Amino acid sequence: MTTTLPAAFFARDVLDVARDLLGCRVTHAGVTVRLTEVEAYAGAADPGSHAFRGRSPRTEVMFGPAGRLYVYFTYGMHWCANVVTGHEGAASAVLLRGGEVVAGHDLAAARRPGVRERDLARGPARLATTLGLGREHNGLSLVGARSGGRVEGPVVPADPSRVRTGPRVGVSGAGGDGTAFPWRFWLDGDPTVSAYRRATPRNRPSGSGVAAP
């Protein structure tokens, strides 16, 4: 039996929310994905966050109520989805990096034709596509009576011994190689966890991008 998570679940520290999302189920547009990998981004305290330099039209949703989606476009081709956390006015969010399709398999396969079932939601861009998420869903609430989707608690809580943490994928941050922010959380041994790609420092302003798919 699962329970739809309330706004209070997301209105907490981003690192706590990220860890607790492992094993939870996200449902949107007829597909449900069990989360196996996420990354935390802490706004002004995090050089890897889009919101590191403050509010902008792009990041406005991150400063709003917890439990909403922050959906962004990356590399000119992919959409990625984050769930806003914490309290209003202080941007933070959890990137949904990977998961297993557990309901709506036919719809998921139609959205990702020719992709192996294991890979349907393996990586943030694939996950967003599988859930049918795009530009129009930026700001969509996952909580409350008017929510456009939902997040449910895990059928079986994640085994703490399987939870792993490490550097975020492709995000250098203040540590140069990303090790200063070990804010990626995943379930060890799960085949739907995406491959790790070490950060490659670039000549760009800090906070200019969240993890690439």
What is the pLDDT, as a whole number, of residue 201? 55
What is the pLDDT, as a whole number, of residue 52? 93
Residues 6+ apart with CB under 8 A from 51: 41, 43, 44, 59, 62, 63, 91, 92, 207
What is the pLDDT, as a whole number, of residue 209? 38
pLDDT tens-place values along the chain, 213 residues long: 678 999 999 999 999 999 999 999 999 999 999 999 999 999 999 999 999 999 999 999 999 999 999 999 987 789 999 999 999 999 999 999 999 999 999 999 999 999 999 999 999 999 999 999 999 999 999 999 889 999 999 988 889 999 999 999 988 655 556 788 999 999 999 999 998 877 665 544 333 334 432
Query: Is domain 7-187 given the CATH code 3.30.9.10 in the classification?
Result: no
What is the pLDDT, as a whole number, of residue 212? 31
Strand partners, 82: 70, 95
What is the pLDDT, as a whole number, of residue 168? 93
What is the pLDDT, as a whole number, of residue 208? 33
Domain positions in the chain are 7-187
Strand blocks (E) in the chain: 25-28, 31-41, 69-74, 78-84, 93-103, 150-152, 163-166, 184-187
From 163, 207, 213, 159, select the one nearest 184 (Cα to Cα).
163
